[in-house]
Amino acid sequence: MTVKTFKGYARENGDFGIRNHLLIIPTVICSNQVVNRIAQLVPDSVAIPHQHGCSQIGADKDRTFDVLAGTGMNPNVGAVLIVSLGCEVVDPQQLAETIRATGKPVEFFDIQNVGGSVKAIQHGAEIARRLRAELDRTKMVDVPYSALRVGVKCGGSDATSGLASNPALGVAADTVIGEGGSIVIGETTEIIGAEHILAERCQDENVSAKLYEIVHRFEREVEKVGADMRGGNPSPGNIAGGLSTIEEKSLGCISKCGTAPIRAVIEYAEQIPNGGLYFMDSPGNDIECVSGMAAGGAHIVCFTTGRGTPTGAAVSPVIKITANQRMYDRMSDNMDVNVSGLLTGELDLAEAGALIGNEIFEVAAGKLTKAEILGHQEFSINRIGPSL
C-alpha cells in the first residue's frame, strides 16, 4: 500500500473510474430482450435488464429512475445507450440528460418509433459499436487512492462473518478512509439490535436521530407483515450457520465498516460523498443493496460471506471475502480473499485487513474479481410501491 495512485479513467466531471464500461439500460422491462440482444452483438458491453419502469408512481417510480440514472452516472461507466419502449413511466430523455450531466456520451431511442425488435436491435447494435470504439481510445491516467468509494456488504453470513471476515473488512475500511477515500455501509435491516452502537459513532445528533428513524421505520414495516422476521432474516442458511436472531446477525455485521465516525445517513442510490464513512438506507437483500451502492457511485463493493455466494454487480467489481475455510475449499472459484487463518491463529486482524486492503488496491488498478471473470453482473432495483 505504499503506492498511492493507480491507473484509471478520468471523467469529465472530475471523477475517476476503475473500469470503462459501455452500459446498455432498458428504461422498462419491455426493452429487456432488445437490450440483451444488443449486448450479445457488442462484446465488452454491460446490460442491466430489470423488472421495473412501468406501472409505478411517486417515490417508487423515483427510486427506479434514481437507480438507473445512478448506475449510468457511476464513473466505472464511460458511455451509455438507453433503450426505451416508448410508453413507460421512466422518461428516457430525462434519464439521458441526467446521466449526460456527468459529461459522458449518452444516446437513447425507443422501440415503438424505430419499428419493432429486429430494427431496434440493429439500430442499437450500431450505436453501441460506435460508442464502444470511442471508449476503447480512452487514455488511462494516474488516479489518487483517495478518490475511491468502496461499499461494504455481507451476505450469506454465518458465524465466521461476525467473528472474523467482518472485523477484517473493518480494518481495510479504516485504511481506505485513512487514505482519504470513502466507505459506504448499508443494510438497514441488518443493524436492528446493533443500531445503538453505530448511533454512538455518528458525527452528530442529527445523524444518529436519522439512523434510529430509518431502523424503526424498517422494523415497523416488518411488524406490519405480522410475522417474526426470523426465517426471512436471519435466513435458513444463516440459521444453519449458527446465527440465531437478527440481533446476533446485526452485531456481527456492523464491524465491517471499521471504526470511523458516520458522517451522514444517505438515501438508497444517493451519490456517496468523497471521504469518510456513510450509511446508505437500503434493504439487506444482497443484489438490491449492492445495486444501490453502485448507483451511489461506489467503485468497488467488498462482500463478506460465510455460506458462500457467487454474486457480482453490473458496473462495480465485487470482492468476495470469507473466513470459512470449508466453504472456501468448495467455492474457491467465487472467492477473492480467504481470511480463515484468523480463526486458526495463523493470521492476526491487521494481517487479514491488509490482505483485503491490498486486494482493493489491485482490483482498483485493474485486476479482475472472480465475479467479473465469471460474468456475474447481477442487478436489482429495490421496490417500495405497488404495481398499478
Partner 1 sequence: MGKAWESGADAIVMDDRDHVATALRELSPGLTITFKHAGETVQLEVMEAIAFGHKIAVAAIEVGVHVRKYGEVIGRATAVIPKGCHVHVHNIEGIRGRGDQAAAPAAAKGE
- In angstroms, give the least distance from the CB of 197 to partner 1: 7
Order of strands across the sheet that contains 149-154:
262-266, 276-280, 182-185, 149-154, 300-304, 318-322, 337-338
47 vs 211, beta carbon nearer partner 1:
211
Q: Which CB atom, from 111 or from 339, has the smaller least distance to partner 1?
A: 339
Instruction: Categorise residue 324: left if φ over 0, alpha if ψ from -120 to 50, beta otherwise.
Output: beta
What is the enclosing helix (H) or strand (E) of 92? helix 92-100
Shortest approach of partner 1 to residue 109 CB, angstroms? 46
- Give me the least distance between CB of 79 and partner 1, in Å please: 43
- 248 closest CA partner among 239, 258, 260: 239
Q: Closest approach of Cβ 345 to partner 1, in Å?
A: 3
Residue pair 190/284 in contact by the 8 Å Cβ criterion: yes
Of the pair 125, 194, the CB lying nearest partner 1 is at 194
Q: Which is nearer to partner 1, 147 or 198 (CB)?
A: 198
Minimum distance, C-beta of residue 170 to partner 1, in the bound complex (Å): 8
**Which of 147, 211 has the CB closer to partner 1?**
211
Minimum distance from CB of 205 to partner 1 (Å)? 13
DSSP 8-state secondary structure symbol assigned to residue 189: G
Nine cell digits for residue 127:
450505436
Residue 56 or 324 having the CB closest to partner 1: 324
Residue 83's SS3 state is strand
Q: How far is the CB of 262 from partner 1 (least distance, A)?
A: 16
Q: How far is CA 75 from each of CA 46, 47, 296, 300, 315, rounded to the nearest angstrom?
A: 14, 16, 10, 11, 9
Question: Which residue, 206 or 244, has its beta carbon nearer to partner 1?
Answer: 244
Picking from 11, 299, 4, 300, the residue whose alpha carbon sits closest to that of residue 139 is 11
Could you list the residues that contact partner 1 (CB under 8 A)?
158-160, 162-164, 167, 170-171, 189, 192-197, 212, 215-216, 219, 222-230, 233, 239, 241-242, 244-248, 251-252, 255, 306, 324, 326, 342-346, 348-349
Query: What SS3 state is found at 271?
Result: coil
* CA separation for the pair 156, 234 (Å, rounded): 10
